[in-house]
Amino acid sequence: MKHFELITFTVRVATHGKAMACIQEALHADEVGGQLFGCWYSELGSLNQVAVLRGFDSVEARQVERERLLLAGDPLGVEGFMTDMRVEDYSLFPFLDGITPGDFGPFYELRVYDVRPSGLKSTLDGWADAVPPRTTDAYSPLTAAFYATNGKTPRIMHLWPYRTLEERLEIRTRTVTDGVWPPKGGPAQLLDMQSTIYLPAEFSPLK
């Protein structure tokens, strides 16, 4: 599965639990398309965010579900709680096989980088070389990495799980010290960087 969608709801303060309960119920409807991989709420970074990551077998299947979502009038049942909704399309990095659901968190760091207009190809090449040594048992896994196919492009999004925030800091520091991260030449291609720490909903396949 190579085609993905990230929906980010901004919800009113202290309503993320209710919003996620509505999302869980809405996703059970027969007419809803796509495969759920993750549902999280933000803990650090931009607050009051609920993120939903879904995968699709084709661009066409994703578009059919997008039309259904927009025309339904109450996207995933969250309208009563949300103040904003952003929907983004992503393709999985070509060298990655897919996303494996499981209990890898509970802390998920979602990082979004704006890339120079000519820098996407070299960024993908650099990651293809750097990800295998970065994701050995000596460090930590990579949940997924994507490049955007709509909105502000080029940009990439990557998702990293950690057991604790202390583990995150220790591993990130050690990968730099050991010279396995960041990818060689990668920082030169970047224009802007954002990071949000998320925690999973109980029903999230990625926990």
Residues 6+ positions from 27 with CB-CB distance below 8 Å: 36, 76
pLDDT tens sequence across 19-49: 999 999 999 999 999 999 999 999 999 999 9
**What would the pLDDT profile of 40-79 be if each residue is shown by its tens digit?**
999 999 999 999 999 999 999 999 999 999 999 999 999 9
Q: Is the domain 3-92 a CATH 3.20.20.70 member?
A: no
- What's the CATH code, domain 107-197? 3.30.70.100
| 186-to-72, 84, 89 alpha-carbon distances in Å | 41, 32, 22
- For 118-177, write each residue's pLDDT tens digit: 999 999 999 999 999 999 999 999 999 999 999 999 999 999 999 999 999 999 999 999
Within 10 A of 151 (CB to CB), how many other CB atoms are there? 11
Equal fold, 3-92 vs 107-197: yes
- pLDDT, residue 50, reads 98
Indicate the pairing of strand 155-162 with strand 144-148. Answer: antiparallel
- For the chain, domain boundaries: 3-92, 107-197
